[in-house]
């Protein structure tokens, strides 16, 4: 704040405080003419036939007003309120927030800290930790991956054993901490619409779906030249770049309907896909990420145990 506006605010605030004080004391009792008798001293004001008498405020009421003025003066001396003057206590919103964060940190260390010293695999077996992880997941992840972590259109299912970037504890923690940026280029302008269809049929064949064998055979060579570098020659994908496994019948952008599946595959080939998972390291503390990792890791382990 500039010096001019600081002085303007200080002057305006103090002037108003002085005027309010003057009004309070100056009007504590209004003078009346000598013609009025002691039994009938009025201010001369009449409202709807009702005369206003010159009676002072009750003492308790008057002292209450005085108390508010004293409180105001003390408050403005201790806390910022007069332009650039910071107050004798040096209070700011920032240091208040920092103190509250320190208190919260001390509280959370007691509840989350004990799990930080445990491995993800151990935390995933702890019922209390899983309950805490569930709440963290509901607050930070469920909007995309679903409340049951079953995923949505374009958002991976976290309860199965199919992972784009790997399902180990370290890989899951890396995904949560630093986020992921998945991008598949649009091949339509490069290979043409005919080959988009042919490659789509070949991709269908990789997972044992109904497909046109002749078109799939034509698409196989185009796939080998343009797609195998990321998705592998057999279509099993690559966790290094997050390229999906195309041979396991698990689809990120398609349902079980054969026609819709074929259309979505062609759309992916033709127009490409771009996915971003935001990094959580700036929003969640390390101990919370550790707990959240264990929760997600535990979900996939339940699926493996079931198999």
Structure confidence at residue 259 (pLDDT): 86
Q: Which helix (H) or strand (E) holds 116?
A: helix 93-116
For residues 215-250, b (16+ Cβ closer than 10 Å) or e, as one string? bbebbbebbeebbeeebeeebebeeeebbbbbbbeb
Structure confidence at residue 39 (pLDDT): 53
- CB within 8 Å of 51: residues ≥ 6 apart: 42, 45
Side-chain-side CA neighbours of 21 within 13 Å: the count stands at 14
Residues of the chain with CATH 1.10.760.10: 105-179+278-306, 183-277
Cα separation, 183 vs 280, in Å, equals 20
Beta strands 50-53; 42-47: pairing state: antiparallel
Structure confidence at residue 203 (pLDDT): 96
Residue segments in the chain with a per-residue pLDDT below the cut of 50:
32, 36-37
Both tokens of residue 38?
């002691």
Cα separation, 252 vs 240, in Å, equals 18
- CB within 8 Å of 283: residues ≥ 6 apart: 140
Q: Which of 263, 225, 260, 264 is nearest to 244 (CA)?
A: 264
The fold adopted by the segment(s) 105-179+278-306 is Cytochrome Bc1 Complex; Chain D, domain 2 (1.10.760)
Length of the chain: 307
The fold adopted by the segment(s) 183-277 is Cytochrome Bc1 Complex; Chain D, domain 2 (1.10.760)
Structure confidence at residue 111 (pLDDT): 74
Cα separation, 187 vs 270, in Å, equals 5
For residues 16-37, b (16+ Cβ closer than 10 Å) or e, as one string? eeeeeeeeeeeeeebeeeeeee
Q: Which helix (H) or strand (E) holds 206?
A: helix 188-206
Are the C-beta atoms of residues 300 and 160 closer than 8 Å to each other?
A: yes
């Amino acid at each position: 704040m500039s010096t001019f506006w600081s002085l303007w605010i200080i002057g305006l605030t103090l002037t108003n405080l002085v005027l309010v004080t003057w009004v309070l004391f100056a009007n504590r009792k209004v003078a009346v003419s000598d013609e009025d008798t002691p039994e009938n001293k009025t201010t001369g004001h009449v409202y709807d036939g009702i005369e206003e008498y010159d009676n002072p405020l009750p003492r308790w009421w008057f002292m209450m007003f005085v108390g508010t003025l004293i409180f105001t003066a003390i408050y403005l001396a201790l806390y910022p309120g007069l332009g650039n003057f910071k107050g004798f206590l040096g209070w700011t919103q920032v240091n208040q927030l920092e103190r509250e964060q320190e208190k919260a940190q001390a509280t959370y260390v007691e509840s989350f800290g004990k799990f930080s010293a445990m491995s993800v695999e151990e935390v995933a077996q702890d019922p209390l930790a899983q309950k805490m992880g569930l709440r963290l997941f509901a607050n930070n992840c469920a909007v995309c991956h679903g409340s049951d972590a079953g995923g949505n259109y374009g958002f991976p299912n976290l309860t199965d054993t199919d992972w784009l970037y790997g399902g180990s504890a370290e890989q899951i923690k890396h995904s949560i901490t630093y986020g992921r940026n998945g991008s598949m280029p649009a091949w339509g302008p490069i290979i043409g619409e005919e080959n988009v269809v042919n490659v789509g049929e070949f991709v269908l064949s990789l997972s044992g779906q109904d497909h046109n064998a002749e078109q799939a055979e034509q698409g196989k060579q185009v796939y080998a030249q343009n797609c195998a570098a990321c998705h592998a020659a057999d279509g099993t994908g690559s966790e290094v770049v997050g390229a999906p496994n195309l041979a396991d019948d698990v689809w990120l952008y398609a349902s079980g309907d054969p026609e819709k599946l074929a259309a979505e595959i062609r759309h992916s080939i033709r127009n490409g896909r771009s996915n971003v998972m935001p990094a959580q390291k700036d929003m969640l503390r390390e101990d919370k990420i550790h707990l959240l990792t264990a929760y997600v890791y535990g979900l996939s382990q339940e699926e493996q145990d079931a198999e």
